[in-house]
Copies of this chain bind each other. A is one copy, B any other.
Amino acid sequence: MTTDLEIARAATLRPIAEIAERAGIPLDALEPYGRFKAKIGTDFIRAQAGRPEGALVLVTGISPTPAGEGKTTTTIGLGDALNALGTRTMIALREPSLGPCFGVKGGATGGGRAQVAPMEEINLHFTGDFHAITSANNLLSAMIDNHVYWGNALDLDIRRIAWKRAIDMNDRALRLGTFGLGGVANGFPREDGFDITVASEVMAIFCLARDLDDLRARLGRIIIGQSRDGRAVTAHEVKADGAMAALLRDALMPNLVQTLEGSPALVHGGPFANIAHGCNSVIATRLGLQLADVVVTEAGFGADLGAEKFLDIKCRSAGLAPSACVIVATVRALKMHGGVAKSALGAEDVAAVRRGLSNLERHVENTRKFGLPVVVALNRFTGDTEAEIAAVQEAMVALGTRAILCTHWGDGAAGAEELARAVQGLIAGGTAQFRPLYPDDMPLADKIGTIAREIYHAAEVSIPPALVTRLKRFEEAGFGRAPVCIAKTQYSFSANPALMGAPSGHVLPVREVRLSAGAGFVVAVCGDVMTMPGLPRVPAAEGIGLDAEGRIDGLF
């Protein structure tokens, strides 16, 4: 079989200036990074303010399974297909993280004929945005410890410094350590750890900031920890926000690349979808809407996490109103939701598909609660049988929507043409009436309850009294209007990853609440959330290297 890397290498890319020009971006607005990547200049972006905006289409998915769904691939395929049909379309994606590239996940640039390119460069350093975010995060850490070292005028309690260091690497050894050892010259020993860069609040801020001024203000609001008398201390108070903004200035310009079929794609930012909101940058999405008739974007994990956060956090904060939502499913993943083991997916099992459809159906119904029309993209795999596909399609018709078979992985734009026509229809229909799930002025605990009830179908939320008090404190401190960002397993509507399908009546246990004051949301941690992955027994890195022509091999 041809690999994604081979397909990507076989493609002839056009100069990025040509892609930009077709997207309405003039040459002098480009900051090229090599020949096939460019950043889009701040002056040009400012000049687009007030332009009428195109339609926003969100691609989300069923609850993920090890069988894979193909959300990024579908986002790219749909964008290519819309462009092929003559609708001026931009694709807006998240940037891949370096860490998982060396682990098991491989790259995050799509697959088959639905890829953004150049894949090796996008998957590795790209234009350096994540390195800039890592540097800004760690400059703040260095300035915190330096503040304590030189007298601690803010009376920071070193046991209560919440700000962690960051690295764009899967490195479990850095999860927890005692730093500052070695004597007086090295400062005060304290516990700290590293999160992977995508889990840093700087990443979430980067992706929610409207512009440089907003970025700087949000960075300043970051709460780094508490003083000995319990006062929240901010990044502004240790005077780190200016230098952090300087480190991020160039990174904040969105990155333009192309799909293998020549569609323009903005690939910018990439926060975790558990403790953060999991979408590409507001700046990129907005610019896309100002330049194109349609922007196709994606959200992390399944619709219960990704779409909910996209809609309740990103769209609310940025004032975006999507026109339609695509939910990606596969027969294989539905079978897993229906109880089939990954090793048994090869055999036809229509009954299992029918059982697993409960998961898809709930995501469709949930998404409608936001006032959005929905269509399902059924991402076809070779082993899918006609009967299995028919079962999905019938169920979706019964729900008043359609499951459209897509083959963009193998066929490119042509494989998503029917999906594109359906999306065109939803946009033209104008039925979208976007509304967030809960109002700004609902108490924080009730916001968690609303999501748990409406989206997860939980019977109740368990919030320990200490956390109820903490939420009240957040409200008293002026953060009561913030949306909530629920960090829980992506594999289930519940907090138990083993409960596939569409569980109901469960209890959502809130184990921790955190205030991401710079990002502007309150995180409710429900279950174990890993903010620093580890490498597997045989990391992908072992197979990565340079071939005889100096090309990068082993990325997938």
Contacts and interface: CB of A to CB of B under 8 A. Distances in A.
A150 B537 contact: yes
A170 interface: yes
A542 to B, nearest CB: 4
B178 A178 contact: yes
A250 B550 CA distance: 10
A546 B35 contact: no
A245 interface: yes
B250 A125 contact: yes
A102 interface: yes
Nearest to A253: B34
A541 interface: yes
Q: Most B CB atoms within 10 A — which of A167, A170, A541? A: A541
A361 interface: no
A212 B33 contact: no
Given A102-B139, A243-B541, A173 B150 contact: no
A507 B193 CA distance: 43
Contacts of A180: 172-173, 177
Interface in A68-115: 98, 102
Interface stretch (A140-148, A271-279, A376-384): A140-148
A135 B125 contact: yes
Interface stretch (A181-189, A262-270, A452-460): A181-189
B171 A138 contact: yes
Interface string A518-556: 000000000000000011010101111110001011110
Contacts of A150: 537
Given A180-B177, A546-B216, A541 B239 contact: yes
Contact of A169 (B139, B546, B550): B139
Q: Most B CB atoms within 10 A — which of A120, A142, A149? A: A142
Given A186-B172, A242-B544, A243-B544, A249 B35 contact: no
A245 B545 contact: yes
Contacts of A193: 182
A181 B176 contact: yes
A128 interface: yes
Given A249-B552, A552-B249, A149 B125 contact: no
Given A128-B125, A243-B544, A541-B239, A176 B172 contact: no
A314 interface: no
A374 interface: no
Nearest to A121: B250
A42 interface: yes
A388 to B, nearest CB: 38
Nearest to A31: B34
A175 interface: yes
B177 A179 contact: yes
A289 interface: no
Contact of A178 (B149, B177, B542): B177
A541 B543 CA distance: 40
Contact of A546 (B172, B173, B242, B545): B242
Contact of A32 (B34, B176, B544): B34
Interface in A106-165: 120-121, 124-125, 128, 131-132, 134-135, 138-139, 141-143, 145-146, 149-150
A93 to B, nearest CB: 20
A34 B127 CA distance: 10
Contacts of A539: 143, 146
B121 A125 contact: no
8 contacts: A120-B246, A124-B250, A135-B168, A135-B169, A145-B172, A173-B192, A240-B541, A243-B545
Interface of A: 31-35, 39, 42, 98, 102, 120-121, 124-125, 128, 131-132, 134-135, 138-139, 141-143, 145-146, 149-150, 167-182, 185-187, 190-193, 212, 216, 239-243, 245-247, 249-250, 534-535, 537, 539, 541-546, 550, 552-555
The 5 closest A-B pairs by CB, nearest first: A242-B545, A176-B182, A131-B131, A243-B541, A142-B171
Given A124-B247, A131-B134, A143-B535, 18 more contacts: A42-B550, A125-B247, A125-B250, A131-B135, A138-B167, A142-B173, A146-B172, A172-B180, A175-B182, A176-B181, A176-B182, A177-B179, A182-B193, A185-B534, A240-B541, A242-B542, A242-B545, A245-B545
